[in-house]
Amino acid sequence: GGIGKTTLARLLYNDAVIKKHFQLRVWIYVSVNFDEIKLTHDFLECLYGDRFENIEDLNKLQQFIEDAVKSKRLLLVMDDIWEDHHTSRWDTFLAPLRRTQVKGNRILVTTRKFSVVKMTGAKDSLKLDGLMEGDFWCLFKECAFENGKQLPKLVYIGRQIAKKLNGYPLAAKTVGTLLRRKLDTEHWMRVLDSDEWKHQQGNEDIIPALRISYNHLPFPLQRCFSYCALFPE
């Protein structure tokens, strides 16, 4: 994660041309568990609020969806799908959408797994790569330097740190914000020389960057993170 899939999808979802073209727009956050009943509830909640929250009969819920979309053009965004082996659940969830009377409906899926793309049978796919070095540095310095004003003594260190982030916008924001707290050489060198970088597994791994930021949080905030980890996603 952290490459900008959700951000790009959100920009598309909120685009004025898209809003005009689609009479209905629905955004569902999926994550690890693909539960067709929960996702159906989420779909209806996006349209009607909590009106149907006490109904658990999937057939009834899907009838409400079918009635809602049968004569309106729909854009459905399903954000961050992980499960790639439940084709039957995918088909079940989409059943009411396949009975629509309108052509031109679209489903946009974001995922970090190409196997999910295959499961959905997507006609088109777009793989996002990290930002180019020059573009990434422009983003990183805006996050790391106050008002984007670069301090010469920190620019060299900052560029070395930026190279470790592999063009990931989330990593730029996370580490850049950490560096911004103390615009001094000692603090920036501690980040550059952190042992966490030794655990980086490939160019798509931003966990070391997130862990470094976590390690510099005040202890009470670290405990808050640990506490939140007790709850299911």
| Helix/strand/coil for 109 | strand
Closest CA to 205 of 158, 170, 177: 170
At residue 100, does pLDDT exceed 90?
Answer: no
pLDDT at 81: 92
Task: Please tell me the pTM assigned to this model.
Answer: 0.84
| Helix/strand/coil for 28 | strand
At residue 171, does pLDDT exceed 90?
Answer: yes
With b for 16 or more beta-carbon neighbours within 10 A and e for fewer, the 83-122 pattern comes to bbeeeebbebbbebbeebeeeebeeebbbeeeebbebbee
Q: What is the mean predicted confidence (pLDDT) over 178-200?
A: 94
Q: For residues 102 and 132, which has the higher predicted lDDT (pLDDT)?
A: 132
Residue recorded with tokens 């615009």: 183
Confidence band for 32, pLDDT divided at 50, 70 and 90: confident
Q: What is the mean predicted confidence (pLDDT) over 103-112?
A: 92
| Helix/strand/coil for 27 | strand
pLDDT at 33: 86
Q: For residues 147 and 36, which has the higher predicted lDDT (pLDDT)?
A: 36
Q: What is the mean predicted confidence (pLDDT) over 7-15?
A: 96
pLDDT at 2: 87
At residue 148, does pLDDT exceed 70?
Answer: no
At residue 232, does pLDDT exceed 80?
Answer: no
Q: What is the mean predicted confidence (pLDDT) over 27-40?
A: 92
Quick check: 9 and 59 in contact, CB under 8 A?
no
pLDDT at 31: 87
**Residues, the chain, total?**
233
Q: What is the mean predicted confidence (pLDDT) over 8-36?
A: 94
DSSP annotation string for 66-96: HHHHTTS-EEEEEEEE---S-HHHHHHHHGG
At residue 229, does pLDDT exceed 70?
Answer: yes
At residue 132, does pLDDT exceed 90?
Answer: yes
The model's pLDDT over 201-226, given as tens digits with 9 standing for 90+, comes to 888 888 999 999 999 989 999 999 88
Q: For residues 55 and 232, which has the higher predicted lDDT (pLDDT)?
A: 55
Looking at every residue in the chain, the average pLDDT score rounds to 91
Amino acid at 65: I
- Cα separation, 108 vs 43, in Å, equals 14
Structure tokens at 51: 């009106």
- Cα separation, 58 vs 6, in Å, equals 28
At residue 233, does pLDDT exceed 80?
Answer: no
- Cα separation, 172 vs 213, in Å, equals 11
| Helix/strand/coil for 1 | coil
